[in-house]
Structure 1
Amino acid sequence: MTSISTTQPATDAKSNFMPMVIIGVLFFIFGFVTWLNGSLIPFLKIICELNEFQALLVTFAFYIAYTVMAFPMSLLLDKTGYKNGMALGLAVMVVGALLFIPAAKTGHYFVFLTALFVLGSGLTILQTASNPYVVKIGPESSAAMRISIMGLINKAAGVLAPMLFTALVLSGMGDYSETHIASLDAASRAAKIDELSNALIVPYIGMAIALSLLVAFVKFSNLPELELEDDAEDDSAHNIMSFPHTVLGAVAIFFYVGIEVIAGDTIGLYGQALNVENFASLTSYTMVFMVIGYVIGATCIPRYISQQQALLGSAIAGMLCLVGVLTASVESHAISSVLWGWSGIATIPDSVTFVAMLGLAHALVWPAVWPLALNGLGKYTAQGSALMIMGIAGGAILPLAFGQIAHVTEETSLGYLVGFICYGYLLYYGLIGHKKRSW
């Protein structure tokens, strides 16, 4: 079996091209499946008649799988190897996609949540295996650049997912707003909800077929294994908790994914609360801004800015955008009119525009944190990756905090106050946390 050695300072670009292509395909899958949730949340809110807090259990069920399954999956990877582990992760995702059929047929929210948990479990295996590949396949100084390229692919899928969801699921549905459905009589309302629910079946069958083909693609590809045995920075370390910069990095991932999911998955709810006509596709706006951020990362790191500087800039920009969310007009479309109104793309209220711009603000966090946190782990890289993946639980917990604040205050925009805690910690990690090598 071919392998990638991490003991050399650099690797041959030509030999690493195909592995990067394969990993790029997987990152596209991450993005497509993950950011489909942004459209699914307001959709299920209608089908299952949920409040904001209940609707955001979608993100909880999906992202909590990363916490529950991360370390078991790292042990599995030690036994199967990274390549076979990726194929297994895709197979688990096939099962999750197929579970949407009984979920749609029954309309039971718990079945939807179970399907999302299984999908998240499959993604946990893929994420635990693929992120170390991107970091270790070349020089660590340019790791953030490679992760930014993967992020471009990931977020491009995030742009497409809400659009395809709207086109395939909601096309021809007529008026599917909560207000319209609530105005129908009991029989008409039940029929409309059944129609919406059944519309999910064909797209998720298509997803299951595509994932099945990818299982064979990865299984029979020439994707090499990683060799991570003996280059640990601290030979006296007994486990991953001996590396403070990695543990603190996992906390940074917790807060980053929390605010990333809030920006991507609640923008639809916020737009729905403001009666924005195209609320089901608003996640695409956040994803476009994230794509712009990843372009900046791919072209500027490390040539013009360091990984640490990218992290600091992201934290500060995020706080400024949150101020915009809380203070900007919910009626004026001035900002979006200037930025893209001339293109014919639908404009949105200024406050919602600042939610979308959070995508640009924090786009560089993921590519900056991973190489900083995995630096010097050597044989503990798999454990470190699993710990970082556990940090993705922020996407499960922090949106619930958002939902609870929005539900209690009856003011959706106030939920974004959670973001100040997230960006505050990222600022700390960029300044101090990533440098710690002892407790």
Structure 2
Amino acid sequence: MLKWPFILSLMVITSCGGFKLWNTQSSSQKREIASLSMQQLLQEETQSFSAEIDEKLLSIHSYYVIAQSNLIQFDEAIPGTSLEELYLQGPYLRLVASRTQMDEIQDELKELWDYLHKKKDPKINILEERIREFSMLSPLATLAMENLAASLQLTLREVALPSKSEIRKEYEEQDRRKEFQIYEQNIEHLSHLMKLKIRSSTIQFAPHEGKTGNITGQEFPAKVWAITFDDGPDATVSPIVLKNLQEKKLKATFFQLGQKVEKDTKTAKLIRDAGMEIASHSYSHKLLTTVGTLTLEKEIKQATQNIEKKLDLDIKYFRLPYGIGITTPNVRQQIADTNLIHVVYNIDTLDWLAQSPDMIVKRAKAMMRKTPRDSGILLFHDTNLRTVQASIELMNHVSQEGRRVCTVGEIVTQMNEGVETVCPKF
């Protein structure tokens, strides 16, 4: 059965295009380097500071254009490709690689924003100005700034979603630039470092660093589905998703970030009180194959304990950020030592990238048809409004034609108990 996502080798591309060895620095060293980088940036004169910000925004935009181009290729490959092969091929790997790079740069800028805001440094106005001006370059530039602007609570102009021809045109224009070709090479290299492995399925799941401690959804009985939402809670989107689930009389599993639960415990409790399952998705969504021992413990063990304390419940399941680290021994060991079972997915809706809800629904349905038993785990993100519309359609879809929907925990418990009908309809 299929186990994904990835094994990554010892090297990863940095947001500026260079390379660094993974797990070769202690967390304290990394913190020192990050602090030094911050100090150097803050010491720059206004013109140099603006130029540095522009370079980071250009990086986000370049990776975003690459991601949108690969989303087109991914969708075009669905009809003639098995589900297993889809996750092994270049377009999907490049999509995930692009997201890791965008997230890394956005996190740096968010950290910078928070620092400037705390210090009441006037350079925060330059940062806001550069983001707003950069977002005006093209519709794709606006969409590329979408997540960053949301995290900084900035409102950008509204733009129509670009067509395939518009995305291809901008990609071709960007591809003429030598700098853009470097970003392409970065993503191509990182995607080549990603590998998937096929392993045998098992019925008895338990916290373990091996195959019994990892679930993909491919193991589920026929017609049994779990709906999952990552990266929340979100004060705007999560309650709407929750309301839709309640109206459809469905339960879902929410893989939440410890950092967000701390900031928005109210929304997290709303989800808990509605009878949904809460699981852990790390503390701050770092790429866990690149962090030191102390940070790894914080992202998995401490994050889980904090969520449990905030919400007064027991967490049993964990999902790695980006799905990366399934075969990394120290990462899997930390998950197991925290008494958690790792949960991946076999249907990635790719809803994190700006697109129409119809595209998300069409893609998910096409991929669901490729599963061996019409069963598995759907991955959404309750952090954007397009997911609300798309998930409604797919909630309807998984409730038809004899399909049954339960939380991950309900399905796993019943499979472990060997019940005759897992996730029965009542």
Same fold (TM over 0.5): no
TM-score by length of 1: 0.27
Q: Which has the higher strand share?
A: 2
Give the structure, 1 or 2, with the largest relative contact order (CA under 8 Å, sep 6 or more): 1
